[in-house]
Amino acid sequence: MSIFENPEHTNFDLEVSSPGRINFIGEHTDYNQGFVLPTAIDKRIYLKFRKNDTSNCRIYSETFQTGFEFDLEKELQKGKGWENYILGVVDQIIKLGKKPGGFDCSIQSELPVGAGISSSAALECGVASGLNELFDLGLSKMEIVKLSQKAENEFVGNNCGIMDQYASVMSKKAHLIMLDCQSMEAEYIPADFRSCKLLLLNTNVSHNLAESEYNTRRKECEKAVALIQKDHNNISSLREVSPALLEQYKDLLGPVIYSRCTYVLQENERVVQATDKLRKGKLKEFGQLMYASHEGLQHNYEVSCPELDFLVDYSRDRDFIYGSRMMGGGFGGCTLNLIDEDKIESYIEEVSKAYYQEFQINLDAISVSPDAGTLITKKEN
């Protein structure tokens, strides 16, 4: 039985909605101190909170009809699945010297899991923002971003960068964020896509390589930096490596790591260019950079998969599609497509049939718009 079935449990003090994110360009650049161009979307996780005046915390997912409990007076034990995103946040809050009390939390989600739109960051940031408000913890938005990332790194064991949590908390409606992951300076760029809309095509595959390969890519980049650093001790990330310097290390790095680094350097440059094209309303050129990003991810960084490549290839040479690319960590999830609004319906029908024919998997199509970051609605007493 749901811990919230008792009608007494339907009263909540606080509602939080926390969004998923998309990223236009700048993939696998965040942990290399580079540039990213994400935004939150209008698909969200909704969380309700109330204090329960005990040391017990009770969490229930309405979406998955399952819940769990833990006691703040006992050491937090790792779970096996989604509970770690929540436990990890509580763990980080406690490590910051803050003292949350017992609470009940009920969760509903519109975000597909494993689709590369960061339902995990949405959950972490939603819980962190909710507890901050409920217990007056005095955390800034940036602290919420950082502790949520740390929760994922340390408690869940995913060595992710900062992009997802930043986008989930800091986004503004109808804007993209051009974020410099080195200085953490952000610029909000108006999301003016004229006749175009944003369409996510979910491959509905999530290859289990994703996590191990993600960590391998990080290590490959770190290895390159360590090698270059030996002669250039001012270099602390690939962000500071110029193409000319990389060239000097080509043989020493070996073909695989050289190829990874080439991608990262080029992708950073593409984010800068794409931001400029968007500002100038040059959507075709913006879209071409999305395609180039996909090619780099496919051939140099090698984090794509046949299902994603099929969808990107299928979109090519259609003048109503400006750009298409895989999004997020890779090995499954969604492609992001910049597509003329009046062609969306017929294209979904066509590409879904072709995708099914190729892989015998149903494709899901999700239209999204740039939206605000985590929002809090407090009940007036």
Q: Is 125 one of the binding residues for ligand GLA (CB under 6 A)?
A: no
Q: Does residue 83 belong to the site contacting ligand GLA (CB under 6 A)?
A: no
- Cβ contacts of 359 within 8 Å, gap of 6 or more: 205, 306, 307, 310
Who's near 209: CB < 8 A, 6+ residues apart? 331
Nearer to ligand GLA, 106 or 206 (CB): 206
**Binding of ligand GLA by 296 (CB under 6 A):** no
Exactly one of 83, 91, 164, 307 binds ligand GLA (CB under 6 A); which one? 164
- What whole-number distance in Å separates Cα of residue 107 and Cα of residue 16? 10
Q: Which of 14, 24, 27, 315 binds ligand GLA (CB under 6 A)?
A: 27
Longest dimension (CA), the chain: 68
Q: How far is the CB of 137 from ligand GLA (least distance, A)?
A: 24
Stretch that binds ligand GLA, among 27-35, 46-54, 58-66, 134-142 (CB under 6 A): 27-35
Q: Please, what is the minimum distance in Å from the beta carbon of residue 27 to ligand GLA?
A: 4
Nearest Cα to 148, choosing from 85, 106, 95, 104? 85
Classify burial at 362, counting beta carbons within 10 Å of its beta carbon; exposed 0-12, middle 13-18, buried 19 or more. exposed
Give the pair of three-digit tokens for residue 112.
């597909």
- For residues 22 and 283, which CB has a smaller minimum distance to ligand GLA in the complex? 22
Q: Residue 97 carries which side chain, given as an amino acid letter?
A: G
Contact residue for ligand GLA among 31, 49, 286, 322 (CB under 6 A): 31
28 touching ligand GLA, by CB under 6 A:
yes
Is 134 strand, coil or helix? helix
Nearest to 372 by CA among 20, 14, 13: 20
Contact region for ligand GLA (CB under 6 A) — 155-163, 166-174, 189-197, 277-285?
A: 155-163
Nearer to ligand GLA, 67 or 112 (CB): 112
* Residue from 328, 332, 370, 373 binding ligand GLA (CB under 6 A): 328
Query: Rounded to a whole number, what is the distance in angstroms from the first to the last CA of the chain?
Result: 29
User: What kind and span of H or E run contains 43?
Assistant: strand 38-51
90 in Cβ contact with 81 (< 8 Å): no
Interface with ligand GLA includes 124 (CB under 6 A)?
A: no
Kindly state the DSSP code that residue 373 receives in the 8-state scheme. Answer: S
**Minimum CB separation from ligand GLA for residue 118, in Å?**
6
Residue choice 37, 107, 163, 170 for contact with ligand GLA (CB under 6 A):
163
Q: Does 104 bind ligand GLA (CB under 6 A)?
A: no
Rounded CA gap, 210 and 278, in Å? Answer: 30
The reply on whether position 160 binds ligand GLA by CB under 6 A is: yes
* Interface with ligand GLA in residues 173-212 (CB under 6 A): none
Q: Return the structure tokens found at 372.
A: 């605000």
Asked whether position 329 contacts ligand GLA by CB under 6 A, the answer is yes
Query: Which residues participate in catalysis according to the annotation?
Result: 164
Count CB neighbours of 365 within 10 A: 17
The residues that touch ligand GLA, with contacts defined as CB under 6 A, are 27-28, 30-31, 118, 160-161, 163-164, 328-329
